[in-house]
C-alpha cells in the first residue's frame, strides 16, 4: 500500500494570518507544509524566506518541505535548516555542483531533493540517486500559484517512479502545480505519492472538505 501525502502550498494562504492558516490546514488533514521560496531571479516572483519558516515552525508538528526556486542555492540552505525545515529541494539548473548541494542539505540534517521543471531532463538524477530523499516533478512552470496542470508531467512522474523503483531506495515522489481533486488520481496512477496543492486548498473556505475529497480520489 502506498502512503499518500497531501502537502498544501502556503503560497496561496493568507499571509497576514499565516500561523492560523498552517494550524488550520494541518487540522484539516495536511501531512506536510509546502513552502515556496522565490527570489525574483531564478523565477519572476518574490516570496518568503527563512524568517517566515522560523515563524511558522512552532505552529505545526508536520514536516516543512522547502521548495527553493532561488539561484544560487547553497548559501541559503543553512538558514532554512536552522529555521526548522525538514525537507529541502532545489532545481538542478540553479546549482553549479548538484552533488555538493545535496550533501550540504543532508549535512544540515534535512532530507534532500531535486526539482524538475517541465523542460528539465531527468538525467540529472543519474549519479546522485544515493543522496536523494525526494524527487519533485513540476506540473507547471515555477513562479506562480494557480496555474493549470501540464499533462506531460505525468510521463515524467512515470520515469521518476521507474528510477526510484530501480534504486530500491525510499524516495518520496512529489508533484507540484495545478493539482486538484480531479487530477490527483492521474498523478497517483503515474507514480506520485506526495501532492502539493496551493490554490485548490487555500482558495476554498473548507480545507478539510478539499483534502478529504483528494484522499477519496486517491482511494479509488
Ligand atoms: C509554483 C509553486 C507551487 C504552487 C502550487 O512555482 O512551486 O508550489 O504554489 O500552487 P497551485 O496548487 O495553485 O498550482
Ligand atoms: Zn512548490
Q: Is 148 known to sit in a ligand binding site?
A: no
Q: What is the mean pLDDT of residues 92-97?
A: 98
Q: Is 14 annotated as a binding residue?
A: no
How high is the ipTM of this complex?
0.98
Q: What is the pLDDT of residue 60?
A: 98
Give me the domain span that covers residue 117: 5-219
CATH code at 195? Answer: 3.20.20.70
Q: Quick one: average pLDDT of 59-75?
A: 98
3-state secondary structure of 57: helix
pTM listed for this prediction: 0.98
Please write the tens of the pLDDT for every residue from 192-220.
Answer: 999 999 999 999 999 999 999 999 999 97
Is 198 annotated as contributing to ligand binding? Answer: yes
The predicted model gives 158-187 an average pLDDT of 98
DSSP for 169-209, written as a single string: S--EEEEESS--TTTHHHHHHHT--EEEESHHHHTSS-HHH
First to last CA, the chain: 13
Q: For residue 197, report the distance from its CA to the centre of ligand 1, in Å.
A: 7
Closest atom of ligand 1 to CA, residue 141: 6
Does 1 have pLDDT greater than 90? no
Tell me how many domains the chain contains: 1
pLDDT at 220: 79
Distance (Å) from CA 106 to ligand 2 centroid = 20
Looking at residue 173, what is its pLDDT? 98
91 CA to middle of ligand 2, Å?
Answer: 11
Amino acid at each position: 500500500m502506498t502512503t499518500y501525502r497531501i502537502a498544501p502550498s502556503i503560497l496561496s494562504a493568507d499571509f497576514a494570518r499565516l500561523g492560523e492558516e498552517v494550524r488550520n490546514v494541518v487540522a484539516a488533514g495536511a501531512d506536510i507544509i509546502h513552502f515556496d521560496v522565490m527570489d525574483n531571479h531564478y523565477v519572476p516572483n518574490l516570496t518568503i524566506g527563512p524568517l517566515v519558516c522560523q515563524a511558522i515552525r512552532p505552529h505545526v508538528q508536520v514536516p516543512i518541505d522547502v521548495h527553493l526556486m532561488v539561484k544560487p542555492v547553497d548559501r541559503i540552505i543553512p538558514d532554512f535548516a536552522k529555521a526548522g525545515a525538514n525537507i529541502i529541494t532545489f532545481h538542478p539548473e540553479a546549482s553549479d555542483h548538484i552533488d555538493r548541494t545535496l550533501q550540504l542539505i543532508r549535512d544540515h540534517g534535512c532530507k534532500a531533493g531535486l526539482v524538475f521543471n517541465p523542460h528539465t531532463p531527468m538525467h540529472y538524477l543519474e549519479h546522485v540517486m544515493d543522496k536523494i530523499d525526494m524527487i519533485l516533478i513540476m506540473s507547471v512552470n515555477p513562479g506562480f500559484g494557480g496555474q493549470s496542470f501540464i499533462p506531460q508531467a505525468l510521463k515524467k512522474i512515470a520515469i521518476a517512479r521507474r528510477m526510484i523503483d530501480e534504486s530500491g531506495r525510499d524516495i518520496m515522489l512529489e508533484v507540484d502545480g495545478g493539482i486538484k481533486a480531479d487530477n490527483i488520481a492521474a498523478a497517483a496512477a503515474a507514480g506520485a505519492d506526495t501532492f502539493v496543492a496551493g490554490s485548490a486548498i487555500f482558495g476554498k473556505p473548507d480545507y478539510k472538505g478539499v483534502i478529504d475529497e483528494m484522499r477519496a480520489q486517491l482511494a479509488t
